[in-house]
């Protein structure tokens, strides 16, 4: 047999070889490629196993369970679209959860983005101790969804918390803010606004990419700071704003820990956000089929709102590389 050496695998050497040697060389090269492919699959196998075992298979299982009556104590019973019909027609708490979730998103997301952009612009103009400020403002986001922060926040807005102590200094009588129907949801919204560190860092990175020559030219033309912000900063930062908007909107739909620990959905279901109600249906009353249907509705709602944002993004998002 002829041995296949490395030089035999080069295209220019294959031309000068007999047909049998050329075929053997080609087969050897294909075996090398096949081996490389298998090595690649071997390296990504931990991710593939995790994806199939912990993501894809559970998703398909929940899709099936959404059409069943499954309460953990018995085998799933196929009931068709009954869960969805019940969800949209007779479950009043479901619509309370939808209303509370949209109220949270429409208030918490804009507030968080406004705070994040304002602080990012301040840090962008700060020359000294910038890294320390960034770390300090980002710290609340690191522990944002932790139970410890939620417990601390509940104490701050409790009847004997820090907020009421400050109000007492000015002779104002406080209240149990997290226990009052009119103010409970706002304790969650303020917590979300306080945790603006992650979008702030993204805004700051976007601000660093805006060419300083644009501001210098605008200043020479007599544009003030507000005009520069409206006509330069916002258009150039619009892709970053769009990214933060999408990510924070998705995060808002899935808010859970804060509502569970601070208010547990009360009082009078005013803070019963969607994920918390889904949790209650699944792990309090063990209606796994119904909660699976709720989860798929949530997925579809997030997908629809994301698609709508992408559809209309061309009207206000400016991409420099698409300028005619």
Confidence tier at 2 by pLDDT (50, 70, 90): very low
Domain residue ranges in the chain:
6-65, 83-322
CA distance 192 to 256: 12
Write down the pLDDT at residue 223: 87
Mean pLDDT confidence for 183-210: 90
Beta-carbon contacts of residue 246 (< 8 Å; ≥ 6 apart) = 306, 309
Write down the pLDDT at residue 7: 46
Question: Alpha helices, DSSP H only, in the chain?
Answer: 11-15, 19-51, 57-65, 82-89, 92-124, 130-142, 147-156, 162-169, 184-194, 197-208, 212-220, 225-228, 234-253, 257-258, 274-283, 288-312
Phi-psi sector, 122: left (phi>0), alpha (psi -120 to 50), beta: alpha
Write down the pLDDT at residue 159: 81
Mean pLDDT confidence for 129-139: 71
Fold topology of 83-322 = MetI-like fold (1.10.3720)
Q: Which of 37-51, 199-213, 263-277 has the lowest mean pLDDT?
A: 37-51
**68 DSSP assignment:** E
Residue 226: pLDDT over 60: yes
Write down the pLDDT at residue 88: 93
Residue 158: pLDDT over 80: yes
Write down the pLDDT at residue 110: 95
* Alpha carbon separation from 322 to 314, 317, 318, 319 (Å, rounded): 11, 11, 8, 6
5, 21 contact by CB (below 8 A)? no
Mean pLDDT confidence for 96-114: 95
For the segment 277-308, what is each residue's pLDDT rounded down to a tens digit? 999 999 999 999 999 999 999 999 999 999 99
Confidence tier at 69 by pLDDT (50, 70, 90): very high
106, 255 contact by CB (below 8 A)? no
CA distance 126 to 133: 9
Structure tokens at 271: 């803070």
Residue 157: pLDDT over 60: yes
Residue 135: pLDDT over 80: no
CA distance 151 to 15: 75
Write down the pLDDT at residue 126: 67
Residue 4: pLDDT over 50: no
Is 180 strand, coil or helix?
coil
Write down the pLDDT at residue 123: 85
Residue 212: pLDDT over 70: yes
Write down the pLDDT at residue 19: 54
**DSSP characters over 289-303:** HHHHHHHHHHHHHHH
Mean pLDDT confidence for 231-241: 92
Q: Which of 47-51, 122-126, 191-195, 235-239 has the lowest mean pLDDT?
A: 122-126
Write down the pLDDT at residue 72: 82
The pTM (predicted TM-score) of the whole model is: 0.82
Residue 54: pLDDT over 60: yes
pLDDT above 70 covers what percent of the chain?
84
Write down the pLDDT at residue 237: 93
Mean pLDDT confidence for 3-26: 51
* Alpha carbon separation from 127 to 54, 122, 123, 219 (Å, rounded): 46, 10, 8, 21
For the segment 23-37, what is each residue's pLDDT rounded down to a tens digit? 556 555 656 667 777
Residue 71: pLDDT over 90: no
CA geometry: angle at 50 spanning 44 and 56, to 5°?
115
Residue 9: pLDDT over 50: no
pLDDT above 90 covers what percent of the chain?
48
């Amino acid at each position: 047999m002829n041995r296949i050496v490395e030089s035999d695998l080069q295209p220019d050497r294959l031309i000068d070889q007999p047909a049998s040697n050329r075929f053997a060389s080609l087969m050897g090269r294909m075996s090398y490629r096949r081996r490389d492919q298998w090595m690649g699959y071997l390296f990504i196998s931990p991710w593939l196993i995790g994806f199939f075992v912990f993501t894809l298979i559970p998703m398909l299982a929940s899709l099936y369970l959404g059409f069943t009556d499954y309460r953990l104590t018995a085998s799933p019973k196929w009931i068709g679209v009954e869960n969805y019909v019940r969800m949209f027609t007779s479950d009043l708490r479901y619509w309370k959860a939808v209303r509370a979730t949209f109220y949270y998103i429409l208030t918490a997301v804009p507030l968080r983005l406004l705070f994040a952009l304002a602080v990012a612009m301040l840090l962008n103009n700060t020359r000294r101790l910038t890294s320390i400020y960034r770390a300090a403002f980002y710290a609340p986001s690191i522990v944002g969804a932790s139970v410890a922060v939620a417990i601390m926040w509940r104490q701050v807005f409790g009847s004997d918390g820090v907020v009421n102590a400050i109000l007492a200094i000015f002779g104002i009588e406080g209240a149990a803010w997290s226990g009052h129907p009119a103010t409970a949801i706002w304790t969650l919204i303020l917590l979300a606004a306080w945790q603006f560190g992650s979008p702030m860092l993204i805004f700051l990175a976007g601000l660093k990419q805006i060419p300083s020559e644009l501001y210098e030219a605008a200043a020479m033309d007599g544009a003030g700071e507000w005009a520069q912000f409206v006509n330069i900063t916002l258009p150039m930062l619009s892709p970053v704003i769009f990214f933060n908007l999408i990510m924070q909107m998705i995060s808002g739909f899935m808010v859970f820990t804060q509502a569970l620990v601070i208010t547990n959905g009360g009082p009078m279901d005013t803070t019963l956000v969607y994920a918390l109600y889904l949790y209650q249906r699944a792990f309090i009353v063990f209606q796994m089929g119904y909660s699976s249907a709720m989860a798929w509705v949530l997925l579809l709602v997030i997908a629809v709102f994301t698609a709508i944002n992408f559809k209309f993004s061309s009207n206000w998002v400016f991409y420099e590389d698409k300028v005619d």
